[in-house]
Structure 1
Amino acid sequence: MRILHTESSCGWGGQEIRILTEAAGMLARGHQVTILACPNSNIYPAALERGIPAVALPIEKKRVGSLLAMRGWLAQHKHEFDVINTHSSTDAWLAAVAGATLSGMPPTVRTRHVSTDINKSATTRWLYLNATRHIVTTGERLRRTLNRDNGFPLNRMTSIPTGVDLERFTPPLSRSAARAKLGLADKPTLGILATLRNWKGHGYLFDAWPALTERFPDWQLLVVGDGPQRQNLERRVAEAGWTNVVFAGNRDDVPDWLAAMDLFTLPSYGNEGVPQGIMQAMACGLPVVSTPVGAIAEAVLDGQTGTLVPPQDAAALTEALAALMGDATQRQRYAAAGLAHARATFGLERMLDRMEAVFGAAIAR
């Protein structure tokens, strides 16, 4: 197959990582893949660094210039692709409107990565049900929500969580050795891996940290990721005088940092499918404390692979984390169950198989 991914987002997070992971996997299977992205985006240079063909096009905004750029490029190159996979609102609209004015366009598959509401206007319904051949969601709850709230037929949607490379993300032989490799203090470690955005819930984790560090002074907090909230979070650490909080920034060696953790948390309160950080953490044998937003509950099975707490509830988060920080046996139980769930559900090859099937069906219709 010849696959074109379009992405108008200039940011960096799980959505962009999924596109890159999927593109690399499809290339390895012998498909042709190209990513169409903004020249000032993070995904464009990241694609080139990974050897994924990428084209820079000014498609970051819903404006006439972006539409003309998209239409002009598609008019010239549409015959080179069998299917288009759109990912964000802007590129989906640009591709749809441009495609409506061109003949011989390949079918479009829209991937919905987040749980934000979709408006019920006639134009939006046209975008999803007329201009799009099939919808992929990154969690079953997202699929069910679109059916319930927007009336999108279930047979027009498929839930395909992001795949994790289970050969790369594995439990470490020694968490102490992993910490030594990274130059971290050899202490029990609570960790979070996520873009530093408001809705990822770092603020609530920091609200919980004073009580946690008082009850468990031997523990440290490891923050992996970067983003617009980093300065605010670093300021909170400095003002509180915490010496047991480490900011690692964005990392390519994510498995090494997960290997250094004993407990993982993501107190997100919005805009989620099934976050990759949670799936990666479970594949690395970590128990998880999170919230039931988006489709997180499809990964974190409450009371089996981890604990779910209400979003934006620092007190509940504190108690859930404290319960596991003080109970190594329970952490091990959750970790073992989470690892088994990850291996059965989150494999990269499983995602690629299912995306191939969706693309193939869209092309055949």
Structure 2
Amino acid sequence: MVISKLNIVHTEASLGWGGQEIRILTEAAGMMLRGHQVTLLCPAEAKIYEEARLHGIPAVALPIGRKNLRGVLALYRWLRNNPADILNTHSSTDTWLAALASLLPGAQVPIVRTRHISAAIPNNQATRWLYQSATYHIVTTGEKLRQQLIDDNGYKPETITSVPTGIDTSRFKPGDKTLARQQLGLPEECAIIGIVATLRSWKGHVYLLDAFAALGNPAARLLIVGGGPQRDALQRKVVELGLQERVIMPGNQRDVLPWLQAMDIFVLPSYANEGVPQALLQAMLCALPIITTPVGSILDALQHEHTALIVEPRQADPLRLALERLLADQPLGQKLAQAALVTAREKFGMDTMLDKMEVVFQGALKK
């Protein structure tokens, strides 16, 4: 298929920062490199607005952070004055605003709705209209999320495509662990167990802390990279568990690569709201042994005992046992890490994501 150059507009109502927002910017930057015109519409106070500008992605501030008439009219006026080929929405609020704005004359643009997380969608008439009539196509960030919409909501399979997030395989790669630790001021000799994730409840940090506290390895350190609403609660839990000297929380980091390269084991014990998490893919490309859960579309990327150890969510003890197993069996960790590295390079490269999104956009444009 010959892909024509498109004028793509992304909308994002969320004020937060995490994998969803990073996916939007990564995809936008990749599309721009392919010659497409890309614009992001978002609230002025959103973190993604600032980040887009820093990444050279055109961003326009609109009051679309809430479901109200002001947001509908603001989006309508902008679209009427700035014709687009594709409108790619990402959160519930901006999708509703876009759908309503597109009902007004002069703002009809094909809507592609990207679903980044596994949270359930209501089964009601209004939501079905939004997803199956107002939206031309749905993109999910994993196959399990796609199947969830088909099985639980009864949406037509041909209207949904799974497009996992692509990672820059030339940037994320194994590195010199000792050098990374020296640069970051981390201890060089002890085992470092790490997680890179926004500090939200469903990422499972509390279970990781409980598992780490019960480890029979007092020299090990736990590295929690990320910021977010659960930071204060997690810091209190660290104190309650008496782990102040063993847990390192450097906050949000613009460049997570050296932090990943400094780790011995990567853990993501999420229990909800996941597609295929970018942090997992990054850890795979850095050839880290991984422990995670079968939540969302994580199993699209990882297979138990082949590329990772998969444990049940919301349980500290299985997590502890998996950690102890990897700490005691380095050859197993190396085997899992190498298999995960090969999988990530083959299945989750940037070009794969961009190729699939171009096909989706081109198809929506023809409808």
TM-score, normalised with respect to structure 2: 0.96
1:49: which partner in 2? 54
SS of equivalent to 1:246 = strand
Q: Distance in 1 between matches of 2:339 and 2:218?
A: 28
Residue type of the alignment partner of 1:326: A
1:38: which partner in 2? 43
SS of equivalent to 1:15 = helix
Please state if 1:2 is matched with 2:4.
Answer: no
Give the superposition deviation at 1:65.
Answer: 1.8
Q: Distance in 1 between matches of 2:160 and 2:97?
A: 21
Give the alignment of 1:170-319 within 5 angstroms.
170-172=173-175, 174-186=176-188, 187-212=190-215, 215-242=216-243, 243-319=245-321
Residue type of the alignment partner of 2:44: P
2:333: which partner in 1? 331
| 1:4–1:85 contact (8 Å) kept in structure 2 | yes
Residue type of the alignment partner of 2:19: G
SS of equivalent to 2:134 = coil
Give the alignment of 1:67-106 within 5 angstroms.
67-77=72-82, 79=83, 81-103=84-106, 105-106=108-109
Give the superposition deviation at 1:21.
Answer: 0.4
The number of aligned residues is 360
SS of equivalent to 1:25 = helix
2:21: which partner in 1? 16
Give the superposition deviation at 1:104.
Answer: 5.5
| 2:101–2:107 contact (8 Å) kept in structure 1 | no
2:348: which partner in 1? 346
Residue type of the alignment partner of 1:220: R
Equivalent pairs: percent with the same residue?
52
| 2:30–2:354 contact (8 Å) kept in structure 1 | yes
Give the superposition deviation at 1:184.
Answer: 0.5
Gaps of at least 5 residues in structure 2 are: 1-5
| 1:120–1:150 contact (8 Å) kept in structure 2 | yes
Please state if 1:129 is matched with 2:132.
Answer: yes
Please state if 1:138 is matched with 2:141.
Answer: yes
| 2:177–2:263 contact (8 Å) kept in structure 1 | yes
2:3: which partner in 1? none
SS of equivalent to 1:143 = helix
Q: 1:96-120 deviations in whole A, cap 9, x for unaligned? A: 0110122462211000000001111
Q: 1:206-259 deviations in whole A, cap 9, x for unaligned? A: 1111111xx112211111110001111112223333211111211122111100
| 1:287–1:306 contact (8 Å) kept in structure 2 | yes
Q: 1:105-143 deviations in whole A, cap 9, x for unaligned? A: 221100000000111111111111111111000000000
Pairwise CA RMSD: 1.0
SS of equivalent to 1:221 = strand
Query: Segments of 4+ in structure 1 off by > 3 A?
Result: none
Give the superposition deviation at 1:290.
Answer: 0.7
Give the superposition deviation at 1:75.
Answer: 2.2
Q: Distance in 1 between matches of 2:27 and 2:209?
A: 33
| 2:10–2:88 contact (8 Å) kept in structure 1 | yes
Residue type of the alignment partner of 1:225: G
SS of equivalent to 1:247 = strand
User: Residue 28 of structure 1: which of 30, 33, 36 is its match?
Assistant: 33
Gaps of at least 5 residues in structure 1 are: none
2:365: which partner in 1? 363
Q: Distance in 2 between matches of 1:134 and 1:277?
A: 26
Q: Distance in 1 between matches of 2:98 and 2:268?
A: 34
| 2:23–2:165 contact (8 Å) kept in structure 1 | yes
Q: Distance in 2 between matches of 1:240 and 1:316?
A: 19
SS of equivalent to 2:74 = helix
Query: In structure 2, do the counterparts of structure 1 residues 217 and 356 end up closer, same or farther at CA, with 3 Å as the change threshold?
Result: same
2:110: which partner in 1? 107
Q: Distance in 1 between matches of 2:280 and 2:266?
A: 8
Give the superposition deviation at 1:328.
Answer: 0.7
